Protein backbone atom coordinates (compact mmCIF):
# COMPACT_ATOMS: atom_id res chain seq x y z
CA UNK A 1 0.00 0.00 0.00
CA UNK A 2 1.43 3.33 -1.07
CA UNK A 3 0.00 6.31 0.78
CA UNK A 4 1.42 8.78 -1.70
CA UNK A 5 -0.34 7.18 -4.63
CA UNK A 6 -3.27 9.33 -5.71
CA UNK A 7 -6.61 7.60 -5.39
CA UNK A 8 -9.54 8.79 -7.48
CA UNK A 9 -12.61 6.69 -6.79
CA UNK A 10 -14.94 6.21 -9.71
CA UNK A 11 -18.46 7.61 -9.80
CA UNK A 12 -21.16 4.99 -10.34
CA UNK A 13 -24.48 5.96 -11.92
CA UNK A 14 -27.35 4.99 -9.61
CA UNK A 15 -30.22 6.25 -11.74
CA UNK A 16 -32.00 9.53 -12.49
CA UNK A 17 -29.94 12.37 -11.05
CA UNK A 18 -27.82 10.38 -8.66
CA UNK A 19 -24.20 9.22 -8.85
CA UNK A 20 -22.16 7.55 -6.14
CA UNK A 21 -18.47 8.04 -5.46
CA UNK A 22 -17.22 4.57 -4.55
CA UNK A 23 -14.80 5.41 -1.74
CA UNK A 24 -15.80 2.17 -0.04
CA UNK A 25 -13.69 0.27 -2.56
CA UNK A 26 -10.41 1.97 -1.57
CA UNK A 27 -9.48 -0.77 0.88
CA UNK A 28 -11.30 -3.61 2.71
CA UNK A 29 -10.21 -2.45 6.19
CA UNK A 30 -8.97 1.12 5.87
CA UNK A 31 -12.16 1.92 4.07
CA UNK A 32 -13.42 5.09 2.49
CA UNK A 33 -12.98 8.20 4.52
CA UNK A 34 -10.85 6.46 7.15
CA UNK A 35 -8.15 6.00 4.52
CA UNK A 36 -8.39 9.69 3.63
CA UNK A 37 -8.28 10.71 7.29
CA UNK A 38 -5.36 8.51 8.26
CA UNK A 39 -3.17 9.26 5.24
CA UNK A 40 -1.53 12.53 6.34
CA UNK A 41 -1.58 11.52 10.00
CA UNK A 42 0.41 8.39 9.26
CA UNK A 43 2.85 10.39 7.14
CA UNK A 44 3.20 12.98 9.91
CA UNK A 45 3.77 10.31 12.56
CA UNK A 46 6.48 8.75 10.37
CA UNK A 47 8.07 12.13 9.81
CA UNK A 48 8.15 12.73 13.56
CA UNK A 49 9.71 9.28 14.08
CA UNK A 50 6.84 8.17 16.26
CA UNK A 51 6.45 4.45 16.84
CA UNK A 52 3.01 4.34 18.44
CA UNK A 53 -0.43 5.55 17.40
CA UNK A 54 -3.04 6.06 20.11
CA UNK A 55 -6.68 6.75 19.37
CA UNK A 56 -10.21 6.55 20.73
CA UNK A 57 -13.40 4.82 19.65
CA UNK A 58 -16.43 2.70 20.40
CA UNK A 59 -16.49 -1.08 20.21
CA UNK A 60 -17.80 -1.13 16.62
CA UNK A 61 -15.75 1.81 15.36
CA UNK A 62 -14.60 1.81 11.74
CA UNK A 63 -11.86 4.17 12.84
CA UNK A 64 -10.51 1.68 15.42
CA UNK A 65 -10.43 -1.08 12.79
CA UNK A 66 -8.76 1.20 10.23
CA UNK A 67 -6.14 2.55 12.66
CA UNK A 68 -5.27 -0.96 13.84
CA UNK A 69 -4.77 -2.14 10.28
CA UNK A 70 -2.86 0.98 9.18
CA UNK A 71 -0.64 0.69 12.24
CA UNK A 72 0.33 -2.83 11.35
CA UNK A 73 0.76 -2.00 7.65
CA UNK A 74 3.02 0.99 8.32
CA UNK A 75 5.00 -0.36 11.25
CA UNK A 76 3.39 1.35 14.26
CA UNK A 77 2.26 -0.10 17.54
CA UNK A 78 -1.36 0.86 18.12
CA UNK A 79 -3.34 1.57 21.28
CA UNK A 80 -7.13 1.84 21.23
CA UNK A 81 -8.89 3.59 24.09
CA UNK A 82 -12.33 2.01 23.97
CA UNK A 83 -15.56 3.52 25.33
CA UNK A 84 -17.21 1.20 27.88
CA UNK A 85 -15.28 -0.80 30.46
CA UNK A 86 -17.95 -3.53 30.29
CA UNK A 87 -16.48 -4.54 26.90
CA UNK A 88 -13.27 -5.92 28.40
CA UNK A 89 -14.42 -9.50 28.07
CA UNK A 90 -15.74 -9.12 24.54
CA UNK A 91 -12.60 -8.97 22.42
CA UNK A 92 -13.17 -12.49 21.15
CA UNK A 93 -16.85 -12.00 20.33
CA UNK A 94 -16.91 -8.44 19.00
CA UNK A 95 -15.86 -8.53 15.31
CA UNK A 96 -14.28 -5.04 15.32
CA UNK A 97 -12.25 -5.57 18.49
CA UNK A 98 -11.26 -9.05 17.38
CA UNK A 99 -10.01 -7.70 14.07
CA UNK A 100 -8.14 -4.78 15.67
CA UNK A 101 -6.60 -7.17 18.17
CA UNK A 102 -5.45 -9.46 15.36
CA UNK A 103 -3.64 -6.42 13.90
CA UNK A 104 -1.80 -6.05 17.19
CA UNK A 105 -3.83 -3.22 18.73
CA UNK A 106 -3.59 -2.98 22.51
CA UNK A 107 -6.78 -1.86 24.24
CA UNK A 108 -7.60 0.18 27.29
CA UNK A 109 -11.28 0.01 28.18
CA UNK A 110 -12.59 3.01 30.06
CA UNK A 111 -15.94 4.08 31.47
CA UNK A 112 -18.20 6.38 29.48
CA UNK A 113 -17.54 9.03 32.09
CA UNK A 114 -13.76 8.88 31.60
CA UNK A 115 -14.23 8.69 27.85
CA UNK A 116 -15.72 12.18 27.90
CA UNK A 117 -12.30 13.46 29.03
CA UNK A 118 -10.69 12.27 25.81
CA UNK A 119 -9.63 15.75 24.73
CA UNK A 120 -8.48 16.99 28.15
CA UNK A 121 -4.74 17.58 28.52
CA UNK A 122 -4.58 16.01 31.99
CA UNK A 123 -6.17 12.88 30.71
CA UNK A 124 -3.83 12.66 27.72
CA UNK A 125 -0.85 13.24 30.05
CA UNK A 126 -1.95 10.28 32.16
CA UNK A 127 -2.11 8.16 29.03
CA UNK A 128 1.44 9.26 28.16
CA UNK A 129 2.71 8.18 31.53
CA UNK A 130 0.98 4.83 31.06
CA UNK A 131 1.96 4.11 27.45
CA UNK A 132 4.99 6.31 26.79
CA UNK A 133 5.15 8.75 23.92
CA UNK A 134 2.63 8.34 21.12
CA UNK A 135 1.15 10.09 18.10
CA UNK A 136 -2.38 11.03 19.10
CA UNK A 137 -5.21 10.64 16.63
CA UNK A 138 -8.47 12.04 18.01
CA UNK A 139 -11.78 10.12 18.10
CA UNK A 140 -13.03 9.37 14.61
CA UNK A 141 -9.63 10.47 13.30
CA UNK A 142 -10.69 14.08 12.83
CA UNK A 143 -8.01 16.78 12.92
CA UNK A 144 -6.69 19.24 10.35
CA UNK A 145 -4.52 16.59 8.64
CA UNK A 146 -7.58 14.37 8.33
CA UNK A 147 -9.51 17.22 6.72
CA UNK A 148 -6.63 17.73 4.30
CA UNK A 149 -6.87 14.06 3.30
CA UNK A 150 -10.64 14.33 2.81
CA UNK A 151 -10.12 17.27 0.48
CA UNK A 152 -8.72 14.70 -1.95
CA UNK A 153 -12.06 12.87 -2.24
CA UNK A 154 -13.36 15.38 -4.80
CA UNK A 155 -11.66 15.84 -8.16
CA UNK A 156 -11.97 18.32 -10.99
CA UNK A 157 -14.36 15.92 -12.73
CA UNK A 158 -16.86 16.37 -9.92
CA UNK A 159 -17.41 20.06 -10.51
CA UNK A 160 -20.62 19.65 -12.49
CA UNK A 161 -22.52 18.20 -9.53
CA UNK A 162 -24.94 20.58 -7.84
CA UNK A 163 -25.23 18.64 -4.59
CA UNK A 164 -22.67 16.51 -2.79
CA UNK A 165 -24.13 14.35 -0.03
CA UNK A 166 -22.14 12.65 2.73
CA UNK A 167 -22.50 11.10 6.16
CA UNK A 168 -21.41 13.02 9.23
CA UNK A 169 -19.93 11.56 12.40
CA UNK A 170 -17.35 13.97 13.77
CA UNK A 171 -17.43 16.34 10.79
CA UNK A 172 -13.95 15.82 9.34
CA UNK A 173 -15.12 14.33 6.07
CA UNK A 174 -17.70 16.98 5.28
CA UNK A 175 -15.17 19.69 6.13
CA UNK A 176 -12.77 18.29 3.53
CA UNK A 177 -15.54 18.11 0.94
CA UNK A 178 -16.57 21.70 1.67
CA UNK A 179 -13.00 22.92 1.31
CA UNK A 180 -12.55 21.10 -1.99
CA UNK A 181 -15.91 22.08 -3.48
CA UNK A 182 -16.70 24.85 -5.92
CA UNK A 183 -18.81 27.70 -4.58
CA UNK A 184 -21.77 26.85 -6.87
CA UNK A 185 -21.99 23.43 -5.23
CA UNK A 186 -23.88 22.63 -2.05
CA UNK A 187 -22.57 20.06 0.41
CA UNK A 188 -25.30 18.28 2.40
CA UNK A 189 -24.26 16.36 5.49
CA UNK A 190 -26.45 13.65 7.02
CA UNK A 191 -25.47 13.24 10.70
CA UNK A 192 -25.56 9.67 11.99
CA UNK A 193 -26.16 10.99 15.49
CA UNK A 194 -28.29 13.47 17.36
CA UNK A 195 -26.87 16.75 18.55
CA UNK A 196 -26.31 20.27 17.43
CA UNK A 197 -22.61 20.54 18.35
CA UNK A 198 -21.68 19.29 14.90
CA UNK A 199 -22.22 22.60 13.12
CA UNK A 200 -19.72 24.22 15.43
CA UNK A 201 -17.20 21.43 14.91
CA UNK A 202 -17.51 21.73 11.13
CA UNK A 203 -17.05 25.50 11.25
CA UNK A 204 -13.66 24.92 12.90
CA UNK A 205 -12.34 23.25 9.74
CA UNK A 206 -14.54 24.40 6.88
CA UNK A 207 -13.37 27.37 4.84
CA UNK A 208 -16.63 27.95 2.97
CA UNK A 209 -20.31 28.14 3.94
CA UNK A 210 -21.90 26.30 1.02
CA UNK A 211 -23.13 23.49 3.26
CA UNK A 212 -25.99 22.38 5.43
CA UNK A 213 -26.88 19.50 7.72
CA UNK A 214 -29.99 17.36 7.17
CA UNK A 215 -30.76 16.17 10.68
CA UNK A 216 -33.87 14.04 10.06
CA UNK A 217 -32.22 10.71 9.27
CA UNK A 218 -30.28 9.60 12.35
CA UNK A 219 -32.89 6.87 13.08
CA UNK A 220 -32.82 7.46 16.82
CA UNK A 221 -29.11 8.18 17.25
CA UNK A 222 -25.63 6.83 16.77
CA UNK A 223 -25.61 3.09 16.13
CA UNK A 224 -29.41 2.97 16.46
CA UNK A 225 -31.31 1.17 13.76
CA UNK A 226 -34.92 0.57 12.72
CA UNK A 227 -36.41 -2.29 10.66
CA UNK A 228 -37.24 0.07 7.77
CA UNK A 229 -33.55 0.98 7.53
CA UNK A 230 -32.55 -2.70 7.27
CA UNK A 231 -35.20 -3.25 4.60
CA UNK A 232 -33.83 -0.27 2.68
CA UNK A 233 -30.20 -1.45 2.93
CA UNK A 234 -31.12 -4.95 1.71
CA UNK A 235 -33.24 -3.61 -1.13
CA UNK A 236 -30.48 -1.19 -2.19
CA UNK A 237 -27.97 -4.03 -2.33
CA UNK A 238 -30.30 -6.16 -4.47
CA UNK A 239 -30.97 -3.31 -6.88
CA UNK A 240 -27.48 -1.85 -7.22
CA UNK A 241 -25.21 -4.60 -5.97
CA UNK A 242 -23.71 -2.04 -3.56
CA UNK A 243 -23.57 -2.77 0.18
CA UNK A 244 -24.37 0.02 2.63
CA UNK A 245 -23.42 0.08 6.30
CA UNK A 246 -26.09 0.52 8.98
CA UNK A 247 -24.38 3.30 10.98
CA UNK A 248 -23.57 5.86 8.29
CA UNK A 249 -24.08 5.24 4.57
CA UNK A 250 -27.40 3.39 4.93
CA UNK A 251 -28.92 6.33 6.79
CA UNK A 252 -27.58 8.90 4.33
CA UNK A 253 -28.77 7.00 1.25
CA UNK A 254 -32.19 6.52 2.84
CA UNK A 255 -32.28 10.25 3.42
CA UNK A 256 -31.20 11.18 -0.10
CA UNK A 257 -33.85 8.95 -1.71
CA UNK A 258 -36.50 10.15 0.71
CA UNK A 259 -35.74 13.78 -0.16
CA UNK A 260 -35.81 12.89 -3.88
CA UNK A 261 -39.23 11.25 -3.42
CA UNK A 262 -40.47 14.36 -1.66
CA UNK A 263 -39.28 16.53 -4.54
CA UNK A 264 -36.72 18.43 -2.48
CA UNK A 265 -34.13 18.36 -5.27
CA UNK A 266 -35.00 20.14 -8.50
CA UNK A 267 -35.29 17.73 -11.43
CA UNK A 268 -32.34 19.02 -13.38
CA UNK A 269 -29.92 19.04 -10.46
CA UNK A 270 -27.14 16.46 -10.34
CA UNK A 271 -26.37 14.75 -7.06
CA UNK A 272 -23.17 13.01 -5.97
CA UNK A 273 -23.35 10.81 -2.88
CA UNK A 274 -20.12 9.78 -1.19
CA UNK A 275 -20.00 6.14 -0.09
CA UNK A 276 -17.56 6.49 2.79
CA UNK A 277 -17.27 2.75 3.51
CA UNK A 278 -17.81 1.33 6.99
CA UNK A 279 -18.73 -2.15 5.82
CA UNK A 280 -16.71 -3.82 8.58
CA UNK A 281 -19.47 -2.71 10.96
CA UNK A 282 -22.12 -4.91 9.38
CA UNK A 283 -21.18 -8.15 11.13
CA UNK A 284 -21.22 -6.53 14.57
CA UNK A 285 -24.62 -5.00 13.88
CA UNK A 286 -25.96 -8.33 12.67
CA UNK A 287 -25.01 -9.99 15.95
CA UNK A 288 -27.06 -7.35 17.78
CA UNK A 289 -29.97 -7.68 15.34
CA UNK A 290 -30.07 -11.46 15.78
CA UNK A 291 -30.10 -11.06 19.56
CA UNK A 292 -33.13 -8.82 19.22
CA UNK A 293 -34.84 -11.20 16.78
CA UNK A 294 -34.79 -8.58 13.99
CA UNK A 295 -34.04 -9.21 10.31
CA UNK A 296 -30.34 -8.93 9.49
CA UNK A 297 -28.35 -7.11 6.82
CA UNK A 298 -27.83 -9.50 3.93
Using CB under 6 A as the criterion, which residues of the chain lie in contact with ligand PLP when the complex forms?
32-34, 62-63, 140, 142, 167-174, 245, 248-249, 276-278
Nearer to ligand PLP, 14 or 36 (CB): 36
Q: Are 187 and 177 in contact (CB under 8 A)?
A: yes
Rounded CA separation 8/15 (Å): 21
- Report in angstroms how near the CB of residue 230 gets to ligand PLP at its nearest: 17
CB of 185 or CB of 249, closer to ligand PLP? 249
> Which residue number, 131 or 199, has a Cβ lying nearer to ligand PLP?
199
Closer of 34 and 118 to ligand PLP (Cβ): 34
CB-based burial label for 55 (10 Å; 0-12, 13-18, 19+)? buried
Task: Name the minimum Å distance from CB 124 to ligand PLP.
Answer: 20
- CB of 71 or CB of 278, closer to ligand PLP: 278
Could you tell me whether strands 11-15 and 18-21 are parallel, antiparallel, or unpaired per DSSP bridges? antiparallel
Give the torsion through C-alpha atoms of 71, 72, 77, 82, to 10 deg.
Answer: 60
What DSSP string runs through 145-187? Answer: HHHHHHTTS--GGGTT-SEEEEEESSSHHHHHHHHHS-TT-EE
Is the CB of residue 38 less than 8 Å from the CB of residue 71? no
For residue 119, which phi and psi values (nearest 5 degrees)? -105, 0
Whether residue 19 contacts residue 271, with contact meaning beta carbons closer than 8 Å, is answered with yes
Q: Give CA angle at 102 (44, 250), nearest 5°.
A: 75
Residue 214 vs residues 57, 166, 167, 168, 171: alpha-carbon distances, Å: 24, 10, 10, 10, 13
Q: Which is nearer to ligand PLP, 54 or 251 (CB)?
A: 251
Identify which of residues 33 and 78 has a Cβ nearer to ligand PLP in the complex: 33
Nearest distance from residue 192's CB to ligand PLP, in Å?
Answer: 7
Amino acid sequence: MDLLKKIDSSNIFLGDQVFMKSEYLIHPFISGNKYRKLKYNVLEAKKNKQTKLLTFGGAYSNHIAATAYAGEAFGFKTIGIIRGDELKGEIATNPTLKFANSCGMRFKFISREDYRKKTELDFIDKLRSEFGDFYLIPEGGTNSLAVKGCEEILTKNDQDFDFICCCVGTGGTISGLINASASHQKILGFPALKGDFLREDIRKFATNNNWDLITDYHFGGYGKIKPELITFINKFKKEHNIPLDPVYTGKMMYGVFDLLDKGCFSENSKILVIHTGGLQGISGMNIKLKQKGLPIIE
